């Protein structure tokens, strides 16, 4: 029997998409298959790993635990939406993406989209986390490669970069670390070579 389809309007990264999906279509699958936003990765598919995390009205949400039909009237932000528009075709890395690139916060990159979205929301709630708070911020996401140390560093660096962008303050340099440039521009990486699945993290890894 053919499954009935439901017309759904999804607002993703500021763009409206009209799609027809079965009632049981997961948001993660709709993003990847209907909208080709493959930066949202699917690992466990039952809410454990966090790889599929997107922002729903600014809050981190496991997109594998949400039906696409439930996302109507919500503002959804995927990892692709974290790249900042600067008038260029490719945009530039957002603060959390930039911090991951600077601090080597990823290896294989499979978990990275979920960390980037989770940390983006976490820094909205707590713009200046301590190291312990940074660890708490990422406690719900699993990474099999990094050992988390550089992800924690990335959270703290992203907090500095957000302050640079949003408040015009110079980032604080932690003892024993090289001094940080007070501008995103000096360390800005280009968002190039988006030719694979992980490229949509913005980091090209
Ligand atoms: S794929 Fe959604 S939490 Fe693992
Ligand atoms: S970088 Fe490989 S799983 Fe996290």
52: CATH: 3.10.20.30
Q: Is the pLDDT of residue 39 over 70?
A: yes
In angstroms, the CA 21 to CA 38 distance is 17
| Domain contains 204 | no
Count the domains in the chain: 2
CB 10 within 8 A of CB 63: no
| Domain contains 51 | yes
Q: Average of pLDDT values for 77-101?
A: 92
Domain identity same for 109 and 192: yes
What pLDDT was estimated at residue 164? 86
- Atom index in ligand 2 nearest the CA of residue 144 equals 3
Q: Contacts by 118-122 with C-beta closer than 8 Å and gap 24+?
A: 118/50, 118/53, 118/60, 119/154, 119/155, 119/158, 120/55, 120/77, 120/82, 120/94, 120/96, 121/55, 121/58, 121/59, 121/60, 122/60, 122/155
Q: Is the pLDDT of residue 20 over 80?
A: yes
Average pLDDT in the chain: 87
Going by pLDDT thresholds of 50, 70 and 90, the confidence category of residue 151 is: very high
DSSP 21: E
Q: Average of pLDDT values for 96-112?
A: 98
| Domain contains 147 | yes
pTM equals 0.85
What pLDDT was estimated at residue 192? 40
What pLDDT was estimated at residue 87? 81
Q: Contacts by 93-97 with C-beta closer than 8 Å and gap 24+?
A: 93/188, 93/189, 93/191, 93/202, 93/203, 94/120, 94/202, 95/123, 95/158, 95/161, 95/162, 95/164, 95/165, 95/184, 96/120, 96/123, 96/154, 96/158, 97/201, 97/202, 97/203
Domain identity same for 151 and 176: yes
Q: Is the pLDDT of residue 47 over 70?
A: yes
**Domain of residue 43, residue span:** 5-81
Q: Does residue 184 or residue 169 have the better pLDDT?
A: 169
What pLDDT was estimated at residue 178? 46
Domain identity same for 116 and 183: yes
Q: Is the pLDDT of residue 179 over 70?
A: no
Going by pLDDT thresholds of 50, 70 and 90, the confidence category of residue 2 is: confident
Domain identity same for 76 and 16: yes
**Residue 105: how many other CB atoms lie within 10 Å:** 31
In angstroms, the CA 17 to CA 52 distance is 19
Going by pLDDT thresholds of 50, 70 and 90, the confidence category of residue 148 is: very high
Of 81, 106, 131, at which residue does a domain stop? Answer: 81
31, 60, 62, 138: residue to mutate for ligand 1 pocket, most atoms within 8 A of CB? 62
How far is the centre of ligand 2, averaged over its atoms, from the C-alpha of 15 (Å)?
A: 29
Of 58, 81, 104, at which residue does a domain stop? Answer: 81
Q: Is the pLDDT of residue 138 over 50?
A: yes
Domain identity same for 25 and 51: yes
Going by pLDDT thresholds of 50, 70 and 90, the confidence category of residue 168 is: low
Ligand nearest to the CA of 64: 1
Domain identity same for 115 and 191: yes
| Domain contains 86 | no
What pLDDT was estimated at residue 115? 98
Q: 188: domain CATH number?
A: 1.10.150.120
Ligand nearest to the CA of 110: 2
């Amino acid at each position: 029997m053919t499954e009935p389809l439901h017309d759904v309007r999804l607002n993703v990264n500021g763009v409206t998409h009209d799609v027809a999906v079965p009632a049981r279509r997961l948001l993660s699958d709709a993003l990847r298959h209907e909208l080709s936003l493959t930066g949202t990765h699917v690992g466990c598919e039952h809410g454990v790993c966090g790889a599929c995390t997107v922002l729903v009205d600014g809050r981190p949400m496991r997109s594998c635990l949400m039906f696409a039909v439930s996302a109507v009237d919500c503002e959804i932000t995927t990892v692709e939406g974290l790249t900042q528009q600067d008038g260029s075709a490719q945009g530039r890395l957002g603060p959390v993406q930039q911090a991951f690139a600077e601090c080597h916060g990823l290896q294989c990159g499979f978990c990275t989209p979920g960390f980037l979205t989770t940390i983006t929301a976490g820094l909205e709630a707590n713009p200046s986390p301590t190291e312990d708070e940074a660890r708490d911020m990422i406690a719900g996401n699993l990474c099999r490669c990094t050992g988390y140390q550089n992800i924690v560093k990335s959270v703290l660096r992203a907090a500095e970069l957000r302050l640079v962008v949003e408040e015009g303050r110079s980032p604080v340099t932690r003892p024993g670390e090289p001094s940080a440039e007070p501008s995103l521009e000096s360390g800005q990486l280009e968002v190039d070579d988006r030719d694979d699945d992980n490229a949509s993290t913005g980091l090209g890894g």
